[in-house]
Structures are given as C-alpha cells and as structure tokens.
Structure 1
C-alpha cells in the first residue's frame, strides 16, 4: 500500500517545477493583461486627444463669431472634418444646437444625461467608448469638451466600426514576444529542475539503500550531474563508504573480541554504570553460579552475592566519586565450594566496568603439588643417600669387619646408588618434558619393533617370575615422535607389570583401534590389580600403592608419571582400570603425527 501511494506522489523536482511554473504563468498572464489594457488605454487616450484637438480648432473658429451661423459652421465642418466624423454643438443646458449628420436640432433630446457631456461640464472634457446613440442608433466613440468662453460643448464622435475597433485594439506583438520568452524560460527551468531532480533522486536512492543496509552501486557516484549538488552528493557517498568500511572493520574486530571472550579461560563480564549487562561469556555465568548459593536467573544478580560485596561497595564508591583514578581497580580472592577464585574489577572512564573471575584452583593446586614434589624429591633422595652413608660409615668406623660383611654393605650401597641414579634420571626426564617440550626431537618410530626389543631386554626377569608376554602390535606400526619418550612409555609399563603384578601372570600389548589421527593401545596384565581408590592417583609423582614394597623393589615412584607426561606430549590420553577377570589394564592413545 505504501509503495502504491508513493508512486503517485510527485517528486521534489516536479513539485518545484510545477509550483514555479504556475507562479510564473500567473505573473506572465497578469503582466500581459496589464500591458494589454495599458496599451489599449493609451490608444484610446491618443484617439481622444486627436478628437479634442479637432474640438479645439472648431472652438477657435466659433470664438471669432459674434453669433452662431449654422451655415458657416456646417461649411467649416464639411471642409475640415475626418471621414465618418460626427460633430455636435451643445449649449450648457444640454440643448443640441448643431449636428452635421442630423440637420434638424429639434430631432435631438436633451444631452445633459450623456456620460461624456457630464464629464465635460464637470471636468472640462470627457469621452465615452462603445456607447449606443439614442438619436441615430449605432455605437460611437464620443469625445466632448466644454469651453466656458463660448458656453458651448463641442462633441466629436466616430462610429464604432471594425476599423475603429482594430485601431483601438492593443498591439499583439508584445503578447507573442512574451509567450516566446516564457516558453524559453520554462524550457531552461525544466532543464535545471530536471538535473536537480536527478541529483535528488539519486541521493534519495542512496539514502534508501543506506537505510536498508543494501550494497551501494559502484557506478552510483558517476550518475550525479556536474554541479554543486552533485559534488555534495558524491562527497556524502564517499563519507558513507568510509563509515561503512569502518563499521565493517569494527564489526569484524567486535566479532573477534566476542569470540576471544567466549573461548577465554577466564570469566569476563562488562557492565554499564547502571550495572546492566553489555557482554558476558559463559565462564563468567558458570563461575558466578559456583560462587553463589543459589542459581542466578540473570547476570545482574551477581551484585547480590555476599562474597562479591567488596566489589559492589567498590563500584558504589566510584559513583560517589570518593576514589581516585589510580584506585579504579580492585582484586579479591574467594574460596568457595572447593574452588579458589580470583575476582578483579576495573572501572573505565565512562564509569562502565569489567569484572573478571579466574578459577585459580589449578594454579593453587600446582603450587601445592610443586611444594609437595620438592618435599618428596628431598625425601626420596634422602633415603638412598642415608643408606649409602650408613653402610659406608659402618665400614669406615669398623676396620675389623669381616670381608663378607663389608662386601654385603658395599653391594647394598651400590644398589642404593643405582636407585639414586634412576631417580635422578627420571626427574631429569620429567623436567625436560615439562620445561622444553618443543625442543624434543621427533622421528618415525616403529613401535612394533620397539616393543619386541623391550621384551627381549626383560626376558630374564620374565622367565624368573614365570610371566608370559605377548606383543600383538601389527607389523610396521609407526608414529612420529620422540624415540626415547616412546620407549619410556612401553618400558615403564612393562617394568611396572613385572614389579607389582605378581608371578605366573601374562602381559598383553595390542593396538585395538585406529582412526585418521590416533592409535588406540591396550597394555594389560592378569595380576593382582589395584584397589579402586588408588586408580585415579596412579599417575601422581611418588605415589605408591604399597610404599614399603615399592621401595624394597627399588622403584622411584615416577615411572607412571613419566608415562602419562610422555603420552600427553604425543597428543594422547591415558587412564587405568581393573579388568573384570583380574589384573590391571592401561588404555592410552598416541597421535600418528
């Protein structure tokens, strides 16, 4: 409906053209009418002046006569008259004394009521146009003049014939000239308004497309005429294009920022000075619900959480202008529901503010584990060192010890030194994996051959404990990785099974699945297994299920930790479970590349 109505509405240029043309035509018509009337009046006045001159000459003729001699008067009129001119002599009382057409004066009625006579008596002269003659019939142009010196009114008249009408008619040349000039001006103005209309129409189309966010034609800029409005329109389009490009750039940057905030590992919320949400990511909502004692239906409800009251008070102080520019940042730590959160609030110049919530539980746990690791390392190093020191001190302080006893102490010292060397080696491997994973060299490693070599290396130990080991890895199974770390994975798992699974068991290694990126491995034994409460902690450093037995067997407590870190370094995951038929099974993946 709107489109139909808009199609019937005249454009601005047509309205301007029609309104100006109407005013111009009204002016032209009024001007021509005025000029036509003025010229006609001028011709009438000119004819009246000619007749009055004739009246004056006749009066001069009568003024030299003492008495009115009609015969001499008639002779003078016939000698000096114009063609078809009618001359009438009237006294002051309106009585007709002479008429050159009707010779009998008695035939005429009193002429005081004639229009031209009235004007002549009152004003000295007068005329009447296209008046019907009461005495003779027909229409005449009358011009009368009163002469006080003779007390006569001399009236001359011409019949209102076709020739007189043409004579009194205004000249039509100026009318045609005016019409031609008007048409030329209308054409010129039409051209001007047409160009103006083109500019306005193009600018209107541009405005509509800009309002609808439609693409602007690349050739639209050249459609404007070469005038001031066209230049202004082109500048407007250039400014719009720059603004549109800036808007697109800002939109792209905004999308980048929003994407970054959504995938950020910290909860971020940006609010107006009225605490209304501007942008909040998912982690912010999750952390806020973890801190709160109830589920929040809206983000603004975080300001009612008691634990965040210091942040709320800080924002209120900013509204009261009681804090300086240097103090527009605040941080608090919240320990809630088994997690530790670091909450930061930053207030911006427009009084909007940002609240960030970081879950630092893992960092705190890592700090605790590092502290515990340091203590464990010190403890693990202290045990073999103390043993070696004790044995050697006994030997040194007792020179008379039997040779057999000395050899026993030396063998035990050697075993403890080996255990110390293995411990230092394992600590070095873990440190290298954690601190410089990108510096580890990679190559194509044949895991089938590697596993077979490991079984050959531990053949004596397997035979001693009556353990059967089966390598079901497919022929030619290769991955891209570090040969030393991949070796440590399979060797530590094998050593762990030999040391703790028991005797008379079987060990099986197989690759039970593969996809485009990963190989899926199973390393299982049929031994005694592990209690369920220990399964989740098997990969912790220095964690032992049976501490006494582990130390007796010479383990460092770092083997499975090395296995886990090496698997992670090769893009995989690992976990342990008890087999339903007995024994322990490790399920892990390794990335092909």
Structure 2
C-alpha cells in the first residue's frame, strides 16, 4: 500500500513540474498516463496472482509489486501447513503400520457400534471382510448371544472369553471393549486357543498324576497301617515279608513314575543340541539285555541289526526311546510270543528301527492316542507289569527332537509294529572292522 501511494505521489509531482513548465494540460496528461500505467501494471500482476492461485502449491510469481508483501507470508503459511499435514500423514501411516503389526486384533467402532476399522489380525480372528463389513454393526457380524450381552453393557471391567466355530475349527478369543474418543469404542481381540489348550492339558496332567500316585500310595499306606496296628505275633514272618515286598513294588512304581515325569519335563524344556554320532546297535543290544531279563524267558527274540549304521543325536534320549518300544512289546505280548527287532538302512538313505510283536494288538481308534500321557490300551496289564503310561509320550518327544517319525501299525489279536524312521541327514556309517595296511577290510 505504501509503495502504491509513493508511486501516485511521484506521478503527481512529475505532472505538476511538467505542468508548470509546459502548461497545465500537459501536466494532467502526464499524471493520467502514469495512473493508467499503474492500473495496467496492477492488472498484469493480478492476472499472474490468479494463475498462481490455481496452482497454489507452487511458489508465488516474483516481482509483483506491492503484492509481494501480501503473498509472501501467505505462501510461507501454506508451505508450513503442507509440511505439518505431511508429517501428520506420516504419523498416521506409522500408527496404522504399528496397529497392523500388533499380535492382537484391534477394531474401532462408531457410537452405534458399527465397524469403522480393523487390523488384519482382527479380521483373521473374527472372519471380517473390511470392504463389506465396514459400516455394519459388530453385533450383526459376531452373532453370539454372550457377545451381544457383553457389548450392550455400559462398562467393561473384564474381558469376554468367546468360543467361535469357523470352518469346523473352534477358536477361543478374549475380547475387551473400551470407550475412547467422543462416543467411539476400541475392541481388542486375542487368540488364546493354544493357551486354553495348554491349560486344559496341565489340568489333565495334574489329575492323571494324582490318579497314578493315588494307587501306590493307598497300598503303601494300607500296609503301613496294618503293620503298625497289628501286634508282631499276629502275623507270621512270611506274611510280613509278603507285605514288605508289595510295598517295595509300589515304591518302585512311584520311583519309575517320577523318573519318567522328570525325563518328559527335561525333553520339553531342554534345548535341542546339535548331537553327536550315537552307536545305535550298542544301544539296541543293551535294551535287548534288559528286556530279556524282563521277559524271563517267556518270549522269543529275533534280531536283525546293521552294525554299520549310526545316528546323529543324543545317546541318552535315543536309548530311552529304543528301550520303551522294546519294553512295551514285552509287556503286551503273551508268553510264547515272538518279538522281532530290526535296525536297517532305507532306500532313501535314512534308517528304520522297528519292534514287531505278536501281542494283543491295538484297536484302530486307540492308535492316534497312544502317545498321549497316561493313555493305556490295557490299564490292568500295564499296571501289573509296572508301566507308567508315559513311555510312548517320551518316545514321541525324542523322535520329534531327532527330526524322525514314529509309525505305528497294528491289528487286534495279531500284534503290532512300532517304527522310528530317521531321515538321511541324521544317519551315518560307522566302521566296525579295522582296515589292513593294504587298505582292504580285515
């Protein structure tokens, strides 16, 4: 504005000087021409400003006279606002990426509890399609009466445990609603299916251990009370010895149970190391010696062992697995039966350890449950022979830790075949005969 007034004043002064020299008409003509030039210049400047407004993100045009002082602060403010908007957009995108990376699901709901947004985890948990479900009430999306009652509450101090069946599979979710913003709601979902399964397994495990310990403890307690209550002359030395032998047997059963529990716990919690070459043939022969003693000559053993095959792994774990399969064969094979032990190389370079018996066999429905803790096909027979019900569970863990597979085939009344199949990467050859100086096998 000041520049404009100064320009008008200069043109007026010039017109007055020329008017004093050349006449008033000339002075006014010069003044009029000056004002016209200023109007034309201002129009040109306004035209350039109009073109800039249509592309306002570009810098304003230079040298536009008095408009420079007006447009410069406007442009600086627009530029700062644009930078602030970009930073907020980046922060928003970072927040969305962080929400997508959450291990839990997150949903935002409108005041009427219609879906505004959810991350991919929540979509997976609840089977949502963001394109189709956005704007629809969450009560129509999650059709469960317990969720409807939970969502219609005024406050949510505790989460809701919800069991949803999708695709034939039941998933357990923990949902928690919380108000935020102005009348909006945030819902967090967490998949606790595995946690619930582990908790149920823990409860079953504790119940099974308690049940397994109750029988020997009851026997021990009963005999101890009998020996304490009866006078010495009331029972003979033979009866007393018989009672003590039964007590010792029950104590041994509890020791075996505790030992197997400790082994199973160690397998589940100990990191799996790289392993060392294990002489499997030697482990098999040791297990055979123990099982032949358990058999007491009642069974016929056939053994086919490749002495050149060894496995990379943990010898104590493999010894337990090999022995468990042999022990089970002895326990479940009637007297006079045959137990066949095979350790051989497979065509694919792997190796197979197999124990085949002519025992009572296993029903097809029971085979998938054999590796469950404390599961027994014949509880009475297993207890009578001192089984803990943990042998195959231990074997399964050992097999998994050695990247092997446990195969079970059985026909009721015709026997069973338990096989541990090791991959080729775990199998090596061991020299069992020394080489002579000529390089030939001795």
Q: TM-score, normalised by structure 1?
A: 0.49
2:278 is paired with a residue whose SS is helix
State the shift of 1:274 in Å.
3.9
> Structure 1 residues 583 and 415, CA, compared in 2 at 3 Å: closer, same or farther?
same
Match of 1:313 among 148, 152, 161: 152
Q: 2: distance between equivalents of 1:233 and 1:575?
A: 75
Does residue 554 of the first structure (1) align with residue 383 of the second (2)?
no
- In the other structure, the counterpart of 1:423 is 257
Residues 82-136 of structure 1, C-alpha deviations (whole Å, 9 max, x = no match): xxxxxxxxxxxxxxxxxxxxxxxxxxxxxxxxxxxxxxxxxxxxxxxxxxxxxxx
State the shift of 1:549 in Å.
0.6
Does residue 452 of the first structure (1) align with residue 291 of the second (2)?
no
Residues 381-438 of structure 1, C-alpha deviations (whole Å, 9 max, x = no match): 232233345556666746576666655544443333222111112223334555xx2x
Correspondences of 1:478-517 after superposition (within 5 Å): 478-479=312-313, 484-485=316-317, 487-500=319-332, 503-508=337-342
Of the two structures, which has the highest relative contact order with CA contacts closer than 8 Å and spacing of 6 or more?
A: 2
Q: Number of matched residues?
A: 380
State the shift of 1:444 in Å.
4.2
Residues 259-303 of structure 1, C-alpha deviations (whole Å, 9 max, x = no match): 325xx4xx543322243333335665566579xxxxxx7473641
Match of 1:413 among 233, 244, 247: 247
> Structure 1 residues 329 and 382, CA, compared in 2 at 3 Å: closer, same or farther?
closer
Q: 1: distance between equivalents of 2:391 and 2:422?
A: 18
- In the other structure, the counterpart of 1:303 is 139
Please report the RMSD computed on the Cα atoms of aligned residues, expressed in angstroms: 5.4
State the shift of 1:249 in Å.
4.8
State the shift of 1:372 in Å.
3.5
State the shift of 1:256 in Å.
3.1
Q: Conserved in 2, the CA contact under 8 Å of 1:501 and 1:526? A: no
Residues 46-102 of structure 1, C-alpha deviations (whole Å, 9 max, x = no match): xxxxxxxxxxxxxxxxxxxxxxxxxxxxxxxxxxxxxxxxxxxxxxxxxxxxxxxxx
Structure 2 unaligned regions, length at least 5: 61-67, 427-442
> Structure 1 residues 271 and 496, CA, compared in 2 at 3 Å: closer, same or farther?
farther
> Structure 1 residues 486 and 456, CA, compared in 2 at 3 Å: closer, same or farther?
closer
> Structure 1 residues 388 and 582, CA, compared in 2 at 3 Å: closer, same or farther?
closer
Q: Conserved in 2, the CA contact under 8 Å of 1:574 and 1:587? A: yes
Q: 1: distance between equivalents of 2:330 and 2:289?
A: 11
Q: Conserved in 1, the CA contact under 8 Å of 2:114 and 2:138? A: no
Q: TM-score, normalised by structure 2?
A: 0.63
Does residue 271 of the first structure (1) align with residue 125 of the second (2)?
no
Q: 2: distance between equivalents of 1:301 and 1:510?
A: 63
> Structure 1 residues 380 and 256, CA, compared in 2 at 3 Å: closer, same or farther?
same
Q: Conserved in 1, the CA contact under 8 Å of 2:108 and 2:184? A: yes
Match of 1:39 among 5, 19, 22: 22
> Structure 1 residues 383 and 203, CA, compared in 2 at 3 Å: closer, same or farther?
same
Q: Answer with 1 or 2: which has the greater Rg.
A: 1
1:532 is paired with a residue whose SS is coil
2:263 is paired with a residue whose SS is helix
Q: Conserved in 1, the CA contact under 8 Å of 2:309 and 2:344? A: no
> Structure 1 residues 243 and 510, CA, compared in 2 at 3 Å: closer, same or farther?
farther
Q: Conserved in 1, the CA contact under 8 Å of 2:399 and 2:406? A: no
Does residue 578 of the first structure (1) align with residue 409 of the second (2)?
yes
Q: 1: distance between equivalents of 2:253 and 2:212?
A: 10
Correspondences of 1:321-400 after superposition (within 5 Å): 323=154, 327-329=155-157, 331-334=159-162, 342-358=174-190, 363-390=195-222, 397=230, 399=233
- In the other structure, the counterpart of 1:257 is 99
> Structure 1 residues 416 and 369, CA, compared in 2 at 3 Å: closer, same or farther?
same
Correspondences of 1:81-230 after superposition (within 5 Å): 204-205=57-58
> Structure 1 residues 355 and 246, CA, compared in 2 at 3 Å: closer, same or farther?
closer
Does residue 477 of the first structure (1) align with residue 317 of the second (2)?
no
Q: Conserved in 1, the CA contact under 8 Å of 2:374 and 2:390? A: yes
Does residue 525 of the first structure (1) align with residue 355 of the second (2)?
yes
Structure 1 unaligned regions, length at least 5: 1-19, 43-169, 208-225, 291-296, 315-322
Q: 2: distance between equivalents of 1:339 and 1:229?
A: 62
Residues 25-58 of structure 1, C-alpha deviations (whole Å, 9 max, x = no match): 9x979x879967993579xxxxxxxxxxxxxxxx
